[in-house]
Amino acid sequence: MAQPPHPPPLPCHRAPVVTPSISNPVILQCAAPVGGPWSVCALQLCKQGINRRRLQGAGGCTPIDVSCPFVSGVASCNVTGKIEQDFPYEITSTAVKADGTRKSMSGPQGTYTLPLFP
């Protein structure tokens, strides 16, 4: 019986934790999980409060994909022009190794709302 080319993620390879930057509201910071080295943090943002039945994709929405490199264990993902202000978005995060195929577990990170600002 043939084995898969890459094993599934180990339980210790949890999804990276995502938090908004304190100093810049358009930056989401992604902390690298154990089991690295990790190359990029891949985020999927799903807008809430819309008619999900009309949309495609996992969870009933068309996700917005954002990918940013880890630097010293933190990835700073700029969402300028990707999401609308004052709307909540569900965030799902995954850490990806340099080969692009080995990944951490994916996991929900709660919701994020880009505040209104001039």
pLDDT band at 54 (very low <50, low <70, confident <90, very high): very low
| Dihedral (Cα; 16, 13, 110, 60), 10-degree rounding | 110
From 118, 38, 36, 20, select the one nearest 77 (Cα to Cα): 20
Mean pLDDT for the chain overall? 84
Q: Which residue has the higher pLDDT, 14 or 11?
A: 14
Q: Provide mean pLDDT across the span 68-83.
A: 95
Q: How buried is 115 (Cβ within 10 angstroms: 0-12 exposed, 13-18 middle, 19+ buried)?
A: exposed
Counting Cα atoms < 13 Å in the Cβ hemisphere of 42 gives 17
From 75, 66, 70, 5, select the one nearest 37 (Cα to Cα): 70
Full set of structural domains in the chain with CATH: 17-113 (2.60.40.10)
pLDDT of res. 52: 46
At residue 31, the 3 state secondary structure works out as strand
pLDDT band at 53 (very low <50, low <70, confident <90, very high): very low
The token pair at 99 is 């080969």
pLDDT band at 12 (very low <50, low <70, confident <90, very high): low
